[in-house]
Amino acid sequence: MPRSKMTDDQILEGLKSSYGSEITSGDVKAYCAMNSLSYPTVTRRLDSYKVSRGRWNLEVTKETIQELEASYNSPAVIAAVQQNLIPEKDDTFVQFGNFKDIKKIISSRLFYPTFITGLSGNGKTFGVEQSCAQLGRELIRVNITIETDEDDLIGGFRLVDGATVWHNGPVVEAMAKGAVLLLDEIDLASNKILCLQSALEGKGVFLKKIGKQITPADGFQILATANTKGKGSDDGRFIGTNVLNEAFLERFPVTFEQEYPSAATEVKIMTKICSDVDFCKRLADWADIIRKTFYDGGVDELISTRRLVHIVQAYNIFEDKLKAIQVCLNRFDDETKQAFLDLYDKVDETVDVKQEEVVQ
């Protein structure tokens, strides 16, 4: 059959087999050259598949795009743009570490992807939330898991009341609002997270399922938190963390290393919750000794700032120091738990761990 007599379906299948469903003018010109076809003739035949200048989606016709646009613009679920996304200020928050730098980045409203790494329970996520709360910035937080994929992040179709409608993912919502997007526990992600490559370049995303380009509004920013630096966990403490693609990590210009706060700062944090200042001081000293021992390789576990807060909250409930410590240490194995209790016995003469064992 002469090339000029090729049917629309034959041209369509030829293009799809050579270049996939999403093609550009460069692809069409190359196809025309290889098959002795006229570029204007072929583009006319592809008119119903055109999504923008020089771009075609061979799976979606203009009629389908119009229908999808209608569902996109009239979602059957509450859009995030209709909700108050500014976090509430927490009166117990005490700033420390990289907080001022993180807050400065967020207040700049400049697109500057930021990676925050540090051990568990040291306030990485809380600091970002409170930065947004103090600045009145809208925040969309996404907790990443190994199962997180493009549909979860960018969006997809949902069946609502018998109708299939497009539903924006959190990334698209954050772009549309010019909000702060927080990718929490990013090192748990699989390679499916690579769908964010263009978003991390500040170029927006192309919603290929509906043929729509989303351009970020002013103020859109991305921050990510992780227990590792995206290189996996060598000591096995953070099971489930993965080695992230180097090209993905390279799209974060800066990385902040979040350490646990000093003992003095942790006392300030705990006394925001607990009125027993002496108890808070002893807990902070105890945790500090354990961490130093951990870093020296003497123990395999440590006490996080979050765990100290759990202990003083338990003390507020039970009004019993030893019980508060015990119930919050039960997550550790028996040997570690007993070692930590024995150490606390040495830093607080008002608590007798051995006497408690005899009574039990």
Report the SS3 class of residue 236. coil
pLDDT at residue 310, rounded to an integer:
98
pLDDT at residue 61, rounded to an integer:
63
Q: What whole-number distance in Å separates Cα of residue 294 and Cα of residue 340?
A: 12
268 compared with 38, residue with greater pLDDT: 268
Count of helix runs (H) and strand runs (E) in the chain:
16, 12
Contacting residues for 226 by C-beta, under 8 A, at least 6 apart: 115, 116, 117, 185, 186, 187, 241
Among the residue ranges 62-66, 140-144, 318-322, 336-340, the one predicted with the least confidence is: 62-66
Among the residue ranges 105-114, 204-213, 259-268, 286-295, the one predicted with the least confidence is: 204-213
pLDDT at 347 over 70: yes
pLDDT at 106 over 70: yes
pLDDT at 68 over 70: no
Q: Give the residue-averaged pLDDT of 330-348.
A: 95
pLDDT at residue 162, rounded to an integer:
80
- E-strand ranges in 215-301 read 221-226, 254-257
Q: Which residue in the block uniquely carries the two structure tokens 């006392």?
A: 267
Q: What whole-number distance in Å separates Cα of residue 310 and Cα of residue 260?
A: 16
CA 48 to chain centre: 38
As given in the structure block, the two tokens for residue 257 are: 């290393």
pLDDT, averaged across the chain: 88
pLDDT at 255 over 90: yes
- The secondary structure of 218-234 as a DSSP string is TT-EEEEEESS-SB--T
